[in-house]
């Protein structure tokens, strides 16, 4: 009889004790990206700029304006075929788990020929485009 009673107490107390030992740590509450494993890929949001005939356009200057604070972002451009960086993972930490509005500008011959809005966010690892054109026809 004692063995049955002891087994019953163990069966009842074990789940209660296990559940009480599982609690959320402060780091999980304070930083949702804590412990997230990311790829080593360096993500970029890009767009191709063409003329009216669809020929890739070589711009003299490109930059992105972060609408939240009017910050001018000038990224290194190493793309080909009229493809340009709008934002890249160097801004991931600032954008982590948020979404913001940006405007991409392209200048040719001293005139702004590209002015396109983008909504860009980031998860715990990489930036990502929410909305905006993949191909921009310069004016």
Q: For 32-66, write each residue's pLDDT tens digit.
A: 888 899 999 999 999 999 999 999 999 999 999 99
Contacts of 24 (CB under 8 A, 6+ apart): none
pLDDT at position 136 is 98
pLDDT band with cut points at 50, 70 and 90 for residue 110: very high
| Cα 132 from Cα 75, distance rounded (Å) | 18
88 burial type by CB count under 10 A (0-12 exposed, 13-18 middle, 19+ buried): middle
Quick one: average pLDDT of 55-83?
Answer: 93
- Asked if pLDDT for residue 96 goes beyond 80, the answer is yes
Percent of the chain with pLDDT over 90: 70
Residue 13 has pLDDT above 50, yes or no: no
Pick one of 3.30.530, 2.60.40, 3.40.50, 1.10.3470 as the CATH number of 44-137: 2.60.40
Binned at pLDDT 50, 70 and 90, residue 10 comes out as low
CA distance 71 to 30: 27
The confidence score (pLDDT) of residue 29 equals 59
pTM of the entire predicted model: 0.75
């Amino acid at each position: 009889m004692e063995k049955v009673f002891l087994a019953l107490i163990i069966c009842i107390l074990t789940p209660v004790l296990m559940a009480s030992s599982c609690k959320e740590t402060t780091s999980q509450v304070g930083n949702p990206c804590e412990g997230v494993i990311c790829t080593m890929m360096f993500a970029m949001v890009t767009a191709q700029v063409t003329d009216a005939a669809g020929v890739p356009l070589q711009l003299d200057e490109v930059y992105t304006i972060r609408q939240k604070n009017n910050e001018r972002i000038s990224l290194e451009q190493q793309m080909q075929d009229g493809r340009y960086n709008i934002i890249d993972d160097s801004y991931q930490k600032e954008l982590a788990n948020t979404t913001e509005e940006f405007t991409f500008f392209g200048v040719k011959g001293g005139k702004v020929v590209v002015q396109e809005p983008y909504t860009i966010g980031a998860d715990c690892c990489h930036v990502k485009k929410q909305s905006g054109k993949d191909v921009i026809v310069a004016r």
